[in-house]
């Protein structure tokens, strides 16, 4: 019964945006073929560049006499909504800026933040130096875009590739840099969006792949140009940075343990429902008891609190700045961060750097052995509620008993400068061609 109630709550939460749009349609008397956008509310630009419409707004170009720059194309430019992926793209662009290039951040969605707002985010949240942040400009794709024949375009998401191709057609056709941070066709079922995402790997690009596990997956899949042996030798791979100034072991004084759950119901790959079911299983089994454990949900502030059983109730955390986010992670006694993807995701790495045991899921080549090779603090489970619960039970017992994992160096880089250092010569060589 508890699981049924949970599923009903979750279904309502998941479909709230669709229900809201339907109610707007009924209220305004729109016929089924009339777009909801005509209700007067601004709509995300991605609806205009979706494969269903086959439309990319006409890009107005202005020939520029300035020197070549990097053009970083992002889904949006709203710093308050930046998470690990967009911030990684900004760190990558910052390394390019540090080599003397200006950076134009081009947004597919509106509204677009001002250059000053973005620079403030780069300095305050990402810790970039003012002279590097000062090289960043912002624009939206409806604006007139100043271009130089030597500009290098960087796609960061499969839907930004279509925009980059429009630039390529008018700028000499040099291969663009494609920052690949997940196998994005899996964001969608077998539909038009899946097809659009998977065909981006057939384009003229230089791959820059976040993490060796993901790069190996792409090469093993032989998807698009990754099927070409010569192309596979061009793949540039980096390991994400885990800043030890923020992620480090911290002595905990609290008597009650904290289990931190990365709860993202709107991101299917994060297996929100499986995570909740695993937590509920442990609550009913008596492994998680309210006298010893608090369950914090992080990642989506709108997630309502849930009764897991036996008096265990989740608590949802608000959206935080980076420093507060890191401090929150350090308070945890255990973590649950699921990821149905070849990428580890950042939270398991950050918790491992803090010597906090964390459970995540396996996926194809992201095996238990591969995750243990990264850190003994990362515990893997098959993507099934009972298996997740079994791994989480071990982690909970480790935390209660003060069990320490094998002492091994954590080999991920401390800084983004170190993360990109191995590939930056190749990136700059490509930009200078």
Per-residue pLDDT reduced to its tens digit, 399-422:
999 888 888 888 899 999 999 999
In the chain, the domains with their CATH numbers are 60-241+418-431 (3.40.50.11090), 257-401 (3.40.50.2000)
Cβ partners under 8 Å of residue 76, min gap 6: 107, 108, 109, 112
- Which stretches of the chain drop beneath a pLDDT of 50? 2-14, 16-55
Q: Sign (positive/negative) of CA torsion 122, 124, 129, 130? A: positive
Angstrom distance (rounded) from CA 155 to CA 165:
10
pLDDT at 57: 53
């Amino acid at each position: 019964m508890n699981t049924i109630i949970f599923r009903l709550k979750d279904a309502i939460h998941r479909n709230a945006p669709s229900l809201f749009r339907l109610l707007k349609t009924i209220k305004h008397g729109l016929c089924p073929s009339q777009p909801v956008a005509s209700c007067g509310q601004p709509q995300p630009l991605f609806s205009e560049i979706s494969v269903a419409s086959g439309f990319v707004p006409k890009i107005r170009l202005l020939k520029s006499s300035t020197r070549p720059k990097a053009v970083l194309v992002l889904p949006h430019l709203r710093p308050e909504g930046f998470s690990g992926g967009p911030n990684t793209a900004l760190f990558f662009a910052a390394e390019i800026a540090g080599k003397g290039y200006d950076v134009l951040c081009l947004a597919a969605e509106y509204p677009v933040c001002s250059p000053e707002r973005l620079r403030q985010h780069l300095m305050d949240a990402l810790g970039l130096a003012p002279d590097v942040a000062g090289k960043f400009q912002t624009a939206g794709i409806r604006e007139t875009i100043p271009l130089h024949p030597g500009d290098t375009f960087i796609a960061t998401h499969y839907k930004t590739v279509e925009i980059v191709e429009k630039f390529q057609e008018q700028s000499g056709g040099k291969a663009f840099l494609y920052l690949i941070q997940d196998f994005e066709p899996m964001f969608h079922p077998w539909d038009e969006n899946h097809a659009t995402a998977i065909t981006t790997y057939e384009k003229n690009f230089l791959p820059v792949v976040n993490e060796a596990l993901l790069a190996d997956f792409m090469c093993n899949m032989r998807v698009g140009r990754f099927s070409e042996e010569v192309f596979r030798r061009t793949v540039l791979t980096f390991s994400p940075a885990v800043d030890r100034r923020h992620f480090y072991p911290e002595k905990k004084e609290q008597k009650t343990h904290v289990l931190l759950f990365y709860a993202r119901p709107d991101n299917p790959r994060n297996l929100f429902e499986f995570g909740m079911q695993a937590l509920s299983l442990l609550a009913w089994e008596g492994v998680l008891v309210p006298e010893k454990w608090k369950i914090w949900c992080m990642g989506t502030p709108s997630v309502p609190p849930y009764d897991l059983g036996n008096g265990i109730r989740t608590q949802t955390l608000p959206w935080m700045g980076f420093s507060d986010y890191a401090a929150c992670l350090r308070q945890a006694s255990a973590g649950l961060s699921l990821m149905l993807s070849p990428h580890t995701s950042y939270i398991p790495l950050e918790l491992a750097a803090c010597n906090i045991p964390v459970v995540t899921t396996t996926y194809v080549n992201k095996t238990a052995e591969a995750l243990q090779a990264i850190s003994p603090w990362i515990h893997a489970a098959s993507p099934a509620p009972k298996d997740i619960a079994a791994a989480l039970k071990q982690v909970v017992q480790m935390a209660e008993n003060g069990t320490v994992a094998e002492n091994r160096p954590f080999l991920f880089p401390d800084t983004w400068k170190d993360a990109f250092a191995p590939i930056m010569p190749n990136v700059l060589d490509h930009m200078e061609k």
